[in-house]
Chains A and B, each alone.
Chain A
Amino acid sequence: MASTVLTPPHHYLNDGYGVKSWLLTRDHKRIALLYLASVTLFFFIGGAFAVLMRLELATPVGDLVTDDTYNKLFTMHGVMMVFFFLIPAIPAVLGNFLVPIMIGAKDLAFPKLNLASWYIYVVGGLFTLYALVAGGVDTGWTFYAPFSTVSSTTQVIPTAVGIFITGFSSILTGLNFIVTIHRMRAPGMTWFRMPLFLWSTYATSLINVLGTPVIAITVLLVGAERLFHFGFFDPRVGGDPVLFQHLFWFYSHPAVYIMVLPAMGVISELVAAGCRKPVFGYPFVAFASLAIAVLGFLVWGHHMFVAGESVYSALIFSILSFLVAIPSAVKVFNWTATMYRGSVSWQTPMLYAYGFIGLFTIGGLTGLFVAALGVDVHVTDTYFVVAHFHYIMVGGTIMGYLGGLHYWWPKISGRLYNESLAKLSAGVIFIGFNLTFFPQFVLGYLGMPRRYHAYPPEFQVLNVLSSAGASILGVGYLLPMVYLMWSLRYGRLASSNPWGAVGLEWTTTSPPPTENFAETPTVTWEAYDYQSSPAEGQVA
């Protein structure tokens, strides 16, 4: 196709060169890229640990690493992935880049605070990396008391400090987004004209702001127990170890919604652009995000059905856990319905979106298994739960993240990536993912517990399948690193709207200028208004 696409002369990437212009930037777009680099680093470290774990688990005996090492591997895998990748990734990378542009603002409400958030994240990460090289930590990412407070002899305190510090990054980012969305929308951008990605980001930010302080105080208490022998969770002085679990899960359950809501927001954008029509049931999808955020705070006890909570608590948490599934189901139905009579694209971002919807459906439905008290007693603390949350975290969040990264890559970098390689990678990831985690559902029901370094030989076949899948998945994740980086130098130049999509981000150049818009736009159209907009893009 004849193309007269030129790189815009002034954009945020060439607006100042040199380390200082990046490390002292206030530009939300540059900060997003700073986060992109750091979360990618932690993703690959956490991923490397996963590879080692799966290698070990290919045989029933512990023959690759010692049991202590294995325990450290799964702990650090969890800590890195949860706190340093899944929680920040979409909000801090895509959110930071897009929120101001999507609402027609020049930047977030507090740009300096935004930069500080990144530094806080990095400092927290450094503490955790220190813990890693100083010997690792072996408490599990859930660091239950009294093991973590009294029994473990590893680097619990540096890890706890790292998590504590990084938590503030989440809190401040969430705070920034909330104020920005409330106070800085462009004229005419009412709440119900906002893209759904912003609704999801807003709901996520509410959880970030309300939930993260609780994990902060929880890790502080663990550190205090270890350092000062306070005794909050020590039965020998009358403390209650189960109380730790209440405090821990009060944050850590909403945390999983911090991880999945932004991905859902991405999917809404991908489905709308991929079908060139408004998301079906927009208000319902918007309110579903809020409902998930609210209900998500009320279900933490479902992690403790066998931990010693009363039958009555268990009943309440079980019923609420079923309720929180409903808004997610509503979203899945609405996304699927959006495809009806759409102009359905088969481009890579959209493939990730469709994959997400399918895998999230499976993952979410297996949530019903664990919400059901009678079944949960059998499957909790087994590989069934591991499979369930990986379906949502990996099959859900990571696919949403990759889909979003591909979709907005032209906007962020000004370049197009190689579509065939991208499609291939998406396929490899999809296959690798399912092969890795589907056998784990079976393993779990058969009774293989979590966090086991060695296991009875009859579980080997399924473990080998899972490990094979993991190696495929690993390759799948490496490929985008390669072709995305390659595209920065050699990719075709992107126009301002390569997808022919509707949204404020597509009205500005690729890459955007530092101030995002030459003039603050006045919004007079509804979200995803394809009827009024030209849809011609660079890519079909």
Chain B
Amino acid sequence: MPPLFPEAASTIATRVDNLYGFLIGLTVFFSLLIAGLIVYYAVRYRRRSPSSIGATIHGGMLLEITWTVIPFMITMVIFVWGASVYFAMARPPDETLNIYVVGKQWMWKFQHLDGQREINELHVPVGRDVKLIATSEDVIHDLFVPAFRVKADVVPGRYVSLWFRATKPGRYHLFCAEYCGTKHSGMIGEVVVMDPAEYQTWLSGGPTEGSLASAGQKLFADLACNTCHRPDAQGRGPVLQGLFGKTVTLQSGEMVVVDEAYVRESILMPAAKITAGYQPVMPTFQGLVTEEQLLQLVEYVKSLQTQPEVETARPPASAPAAGEATPTGR
């Protein structure tokens, strides 16, 4: 007989299962109650003669209030419980092992920071907080790992993230869970959770082309980004050293955190959020860079955050850092 639950292989899975179990109990209870009452009344008060009528009972306010308030209280308990589990899912820890994901019709491409690439298979270490930062090249997909109880739509044009901490080594299904065309049901794969030692072995084996950040550095030069974004503040664009993770003020007065999404948007639609004090002269690279190249550039800019901020002659664009929390995608 097939199991009723998938394996619980992440720290959040048990919490989800507990709430689910409670809800099942609630459903069974009320279903049996209502079904039981219906059957009982149907038998007990079965119409015995063709002309008999029922007792005229219009109702009672107390009863109505009771069976309004009690369900209300029960639903509020469920709401709070569900929200609490959801908060844990929605707020990744500060320190995570980040892996980039690009979904496209009909495959998943995984990019490890050090350059390892995987297609439809994702190796992760057990017991470590892993954050997946994902985007799509074409239509909306959805990254779903039932054993971890995590899921997120992967939307073109933005980064989304989900995080998990795997608790058991093994191989687990990975599905695309947002209909995306012909081979939607073929856009599946596996998450391979390994012991830390094995994971290290796996990481160092196999061909790599260098880390994402180093590939990004090369691209930065190839695309001539460095002509405007110079470390000495003489360029026409903001200095990128030490910028990632900071909060900057835009021309409109709005403040934004320089995170992966902001960097990506600035490359593809530079005029959308201009830093205060700068002109909208940056050309767009839409159509000139792939999603993977964007990841490399993002990682490169990220890698610059450890370098010290340079004294600028221009009116400063950035305010003091608003906290060092690892910036998330949307």
* Interface residue ranges, A against B (CB under 8 Å): 62, 67-68, 71, 138-140, 144, 146-147, 150-152, 235-236, 238-242, 275-278, 280-284, 306-308, 311, 314-315, 318-319, 322-323, 325-326, 329-330, 332-334, 336-337, 339-346, 354, 357-358, 361-362, 365-366, 368-369, 371-378, 380-382, 442, 445-447, 449-456, 458-459, 461-462, 500, 530-531, 534-537, 540
Contacts and interface: CB of A to CB of B under 8 A. Distances in A.
Contacts of B42: 339, 344, 346, 354
A377 B150 contact: yes
B78 to A, nearest CB: 5
Contacts of A71: 179, 181-182, 184
A540 B49 CA distance: 7
B34 A140 contact: no
B41 A344 contact: yes
A361 B286 contact: no
B156 A368 contact: no
A369 B19 CA distance: 9
Interface stretch (B61-69, B115-123, B124-132, B226-234): B61-69
Given A344-B42, A377-B151, A369 B20 contact: yes
B327 to A, nearest CB: 16
Residue picked from B86, B175, B176, most chain A C-beta under 10 Å? B86
Interface of B: 1-6, 15-16, 19-20, 23, 26-27, 30-31, 34-35, 37-38, 41-42, 45-59, 63-64, 67-68, 71-72, 75-76, 78-79, 81-90, 105, 138-140, 142, 144, 146-147, 149-153, 155-158, 160, 173, 175-186, 188, 269, 272, 286-287, 330
B153 A236 contact: no
Given A144-B140, A378-B146, A341 B45 contact: yes
B34 to A, nearest CB: 5
B156 A235 contact: yes
Given A307-B153, A326-B72, A340-B45, A537 B19 contact: no
Contacts of A451: 179, 184-185
10 contacts: A144-B140, A146-B138, A146-B156, A238-B269, A318-B79, A361-B34, A374-B15, A450-B179, A451-B184, A458-B2
B50 A500 contact: yes
A144 to B, nearest CB: 6
A373 to B, nearest CB: 4
A262 B135 CA distance: 42
Nearest to B145: A447
A334 B67 CA distance: 9
A342 B146 CA distance: 48
Contact of B86 (A314, A357, A366, A531): A314
B99 to A, nearest CB: 19
Contacts of A306: 142, 151-153
Given A308-B160, A374-B82, A449-B144, A536 B64 contact: no
A79 to B, nearest CB: 14
B108 to A, nearest CB: 14
B58 A280 contact: yes
B288 to A, nearest CB: 12
A322 B34 contact: no
A140 B27 CA distance: 30
Contacts of A531: 53, 56
Given A276-B52, A322-B76, A452-B184, A365 B82 contact: no
